[in-house]
Chains A and B, each alone.
Chain A
Amino acid sequence: MMTQIGNYAACVALAVVLGGSGGAAFAGDAAKGKATFVRVGCYECHGHQGQGGVAGLKLAPDPLPYETLAAFVRSSSGPMPPYSDKILSDADLSDIYAYLASIPKPPDPKSIPPLNP
């Protein structure tokens, strides 16, 4: 049967956004990147829009600078499993980055009726 990844407290802690800047226009192909983001499983923990949740941090909009993101993806030794270039090519990773950088800013929460009942 299932085991939970982490306990409640750990997962809430995960939800804390580490922040970041960047998100400038990027050389990768955003459309291809969107498909790759799903194919290699990033969405499983981060959500299709990189929105984050109990299983992974928010990645977009405004992703970390490419170098920081790539370094993290290649060498994570924490709860996120690393992706070596053997299983995720540099080209795929830059497409993923282009996809994350293309995700538009969300609406203002105050403008959304269900969030302001």
Chain B
Amino acid sequence: MARKPEVDRRKFLTSVAVAGAATAVASEATGAAVDTTQSQPPKPSALRPSAAVAAAESAVPAALPHAEGRPGSDFMVDVLRSLKFEYLATNPASSCRGIHESLVNYGNNERPEMLTVMHEESGTGMAHGYSKVAGKPMALLFHGTVGLQHATMGIYNAWCDRVPIVVMVGNHLDAATRPPGVPTTHSAQDPLSLIRDFTKWDDQPGSLQAYAEAMVRAYKIAMTPPMEPVAIALDAHLQEHPQNGEMLSIPKLTLTSPPQGDANAVREAARLLAAAERPVIVADRAARTANGMRGVIALAETLNAPVVDQGGRLNMPTSHYLNQSGRGGALVGQADVILALELTDLWGTLNTFVDNVQGTRTSRLKPNAKVINLGVGDLYIRANYQDFQRFADADISIGADAEATLPALIEAVKAEMTAERRAQNDKRADDLRKAHAQGRERAMAAAVLGWDSSPVTTARLSAEIWAAVRNEDWALVSSDFFQSLWPHRLWNMDKHYQFIGGSGGAGVGYGLPAAVGAALAHRSEGRLVVNIQSDGDMMYAPGALWTAVHHKIPLLTVMHNNRAYHQEFMHLQKVGNWRNRGVDRAHIATTIRDPFIDYAKLAQSMGMLGIGPIEDPKDLAPALQRAVQIVKAGDPVLIDVVSEPR
């Protein structure tokens, strides 16, 4: 490499910056002193930059040598290309400037294409939503330390939701050569320790070859169930300096096959299921792909067993008669064998918890009920954060990927089931069909309550959206828990990609960016993507709206605007009641009033069509029809709807 000690580029830029700052302060002080002697009030003017400041901000001094040789970060781009990243979301950062320049000028901003995000948490949320739809990670490129600090909650959400994302952060490792001042403040000896409790693997490679190996390993590990976030720190020196002639190679990516259940354990589970009188299947994140959903359906049909879909993904079509999620608690209570597939919370499934003063807990289980736990939860677990939930008993515990294990389990159940049992199971079908139909009728009867009232009910909001999109190839990219699960109750969700669950970690601020990222992944499939967006969640980092406009990501966002952090509002109400002192002040610091936020204007300010606020439910259908046309033409739209709390 061509290092010229007489003009060290880094030192040059940093020292002029420091000198510039000092100059600016001095001239400001002088200016103020002069003004006091004048009779005229001073004219408003921007602070004139000194020549040194101007140079530091923009100029490349003539004396600066151009870096010679092939930059290390060009090779890093080759590595990203080899892993076939389509997108890389970034919030620009000086510690990443080497690779940023390579992505733009060497990589031509293609594969990966850079996405500009306005907050690292937005980037992480985008990667999270994207990954669940695309089935592969998006790359993220952030500042170490401050950028990573912004990103952490989003990474925790992805961790809890078992979603692979690949986080890269810039870092100046060598204390002797890194620039002083801000770059040093932003450096860390172990930057990824911040997220080590909720990433599956991380590394800070010390050479380009090690970078290539670390990235391929990271990708592979992230994509092996349990899929989780991984992180790599990119040394700025490694990025910015030319390759030193070493022979570099990029390892081949061979994805690890997902762990499949041990044959004996699977047979044991099949025996229990095949003999069960009242089996029930409970699934949370069992269906990663269309195959996963096919597996859940096939197992349920083989047993004629009801399925309780807990909604971490779409595990069972809502229109299938064996989807009996609406009576989940009761079904678990009546079951003699419970098959748990990739649950977040087995304990919470087998027990009830009432959030009253005592925090009442009771087991739902019938005596002698057997529990089969199939999932990757036991295969990778950390100690600090408690997302693994309370420990629960199981009679058979299969540490394996449910989706990969279902085919073997289905075959084993078929082999174990007697003709007599099969005939008995088939008799259940009529009752289950009836119960499913009744559930739908009850939902319809409940949906009309308050139909014409304002604020708009969440049932009407959901029904009107469904009417507007049902004839398209649509996907809902938001969780519907806060909308009283109306989409699950009223819509026919039949394809695995039509619903992708929620944040995983319940860290608020996930909704908007995840929707934008998911919409990006759906874009190439030409799907009409709907995001029902909570107002509180939106305001953590509304800049994701701008990212959607900037990158032309079609997305229909319908605000469920209840003008509150409503979950907390209800918590406050409870505690006030319990303490028997005042029930009319729970809105303090839990609501978003005085003033109300105009979300349509917020969208408009970022170049997005914003409609609303809609208060009369009659205005909803025409607004949706208009919006759907615009989204189909390729643009994002936001409709603000002043809505019921839940």
Q: Chain A residues in contact with chain B, CB under 8 A?
A: 1-13, 15-17, 39-41, 43-45, 47-56, 58, 60-61, 77-79, 81-84, 86-88, 106-109, 112-115, 117
Instruction: State the Cβ distance, B556 to closest chain A Cβ, in Å.
Output: 16
Q: What is the size category of the interface that chain B forms with chain A?
A: 35 or more
A12 near B328: Cβ-Cβ < 8 Å: yes
Given A13-B329, A49-B457, A106-B565 contact (CB < 8 Å): no
- Given known A58-B446, A87-B580, contact A11–B567 (CB-CB < 8 A): no
Please give me the residue from chain B that is nearest to A14 by CB atom: B329
Query: Contact: A112 with B577, CB < 8 Å?
Result: no
CA distance A78 to B345 in the complex (A): 22
CB < 8 Å: which of B349, B446, B464, B578 contacts A9?
A: B349
Say yes or no: is B448 at the interface (Cβ < 8 Å to chain A): yes
Q: Once bound together, how far apart are the Cα atoms of A16 and B584, in whole Å?
A: 28
Q: Complex Cα distance A117/B621, Å?
A: 13
Contact with B355, one of A6, A40, A60 (Cβ below 8 angstroms): A6
- Chain A residue at smallest Cβ distance from B536: A2
Q: 11 additional contacts, CB 8 Å, given A1-B506, A41-B584, A44-B645? A: A10-B352, A11-B481, A11-B485, A15-B326, A41-B573, A45-B646, A55-B645, A81-B576, A88-B583, A109-B448, A114-B621
What residue of chain A has the Cβ atom nearest to residue B582's Cβ?
A: A87
Tell me, in angstroms, the Cα distance from A79 to B352 when the chains sit together: 11
User: Do residues B463 and A114 form an inter-chain contact, with CB atoms below 8 A?
Assistant: yes
Given contacts A4-B481, A12-B328, A45-B646, contact A115 B444 (CB under 8 A): yes
Give the one of A77, A87, A114 with max B CB within 10 A.
A114
Pair B354/A12 contact, Cβ less than 8 Å: no
Name 13 interchain pairs, CB-CB below 8 A, sorted by A: A1-B153, A2-B568, A8-B481, A9-B332, A9-B348, A44-B586, A45-B573, A49-B453, A54-B646, A55-B484, A78-B356, A88-B583, A109-B445
The contact string, 1 if C-beta is below 8 Å from chain A, for chain B 96-119, is: 000000000000000000000000
Residues of A within 8 A of B444 (CB): 109, 115
Give complex CA distance A40, B571 in Å. 14
Beyond A9-B329, A9-B332, whether A52 also contacts B586 by CB under 8 A is: no
A111–B644 alpha-carbon span in the complex (Å): 23
- Is B567 touching A3 in the complex (CB atoms < 8 A)? yes
* A48 and B453 in contact, given A2-B568, A12-B485, A114-B467 (Cβ under 8 angstroms): yes
Contact B573 A44 (CB under 8 A): yes
- In angstroms, Cα B445 to Cα A107, docked, is 9
Residue from the set B460, B507, B574, B583 with the largest chain A CB neighbour count within 10 Å: B583
- CB contact between B577 and one of A60, A82, A109 (< 8 Å): that residue: A82
CB–CB A3/B446 < 8 A: no
The binding surface of chain A is classed by DSSP as loop
Residue ID in chain A nearest B348 by CB atoms: A7
A64 CA / B444 CA spacing, docked (Å): 21
B449 touches A7 (CB 8 A): no
Q: How far is the CB of B452 from chain A (nearest CB, A)?
A: 8
Contact of A53 among B360, B458, B575, B583 (CB under 8 A): B458
Is A117 a contact of B574 with CB atoms below 8 Å? no
CB <8 Å contact, B567 and A10: no
Neighbouring A residues of B457 by C-beta, 8 Å: 47, 49, 51
**Residue in B329, B330, B507, B586 whose Cβ sees the most chain A Cβ within 10 Å:** B329
* Partner pick for A106 among B153, B449, B466, CB 8 A cutoff: B449
B191 beta carbon closer than 8 Å to chain A: no
Least Cβ distance of B619 to chain A in Å? Answer: 14
Q: Which chain A residues border B464 with CB–CB below 8 Å?
A: 114
Q: Which residues on A sit within 8 Å (CB–CB) of B575?
A: 81
Q: Assuming the A-B contacts A81-B578, A109-B444, are A6 and B645 also in contact, with contact meaning beta carbons closer than 8 angstroms in the complex?
A: no
Question: Can you list, as one digit per residue, whether each of B348-376 has a CB less than 8 Å from chain A (1) or not (0)?
Answer: 11001111111010000000000000000
Which partner residue on chain B sits nearest A45 by CB separation?
B570
Cα of A6 to Cα of B484 in the assembled complex, Å: 12
Please, how many angstroms separate the alpha-carbon atoms of A89 and B395 in the complex?
Answer: 52
List A contacts of B450 (CB < 8 A). Answer: 47-49, 51, 106
List B474-492 residues whose CB lies under 8 Å from chain A: 481-482, 484-485, 490
Bound CA span A55–B328, Å:
16
Q: Is the CB of B467 within 8 A of A117?
A: yes
Contacts of A113 in B (CB 8 A): 467
A51–B457 CA distance with the chains assembled, in angstroms:
9
Knowing A6-B355, A15-B484, the reply to whether A107 touches B442 (Cβ < 8 A) is no
Closest 5 CB pairs of A and B: A81-B577, A49-B450, A53-B484, A51-B449, A9-B328
Among B328, B450, B506, B569, the one with the most A-chain Cβ atoms within 10 Å of its Cβ is B450
B381 CB–A CB distance under 8 Å: no
Q: Are B355 and A17 in contact (CB under 8 A)?
A: no
Interface pair A44/B451, CB less than 8 Å apart: no
Bound-state CA distance A16–B578 (Å) is 25
Chain B residues numbered 545-569 whose CB sits less than 8 Å from any CB in chain A:
565-569
Complex interface: chain A residues within 8 A of B576 (CB): 81, 87
- Option from A6, A54, A56 in Cβ contact (under 8 Å) with B485: A54
> Within the complex, which residue of A3, A15, A56, A115 is in contact with B463, where a contact is CB–CB below 8 Å?
A115
Cβ–Cβ < 8 Å partners of B325 in chain A: 8-9, 12
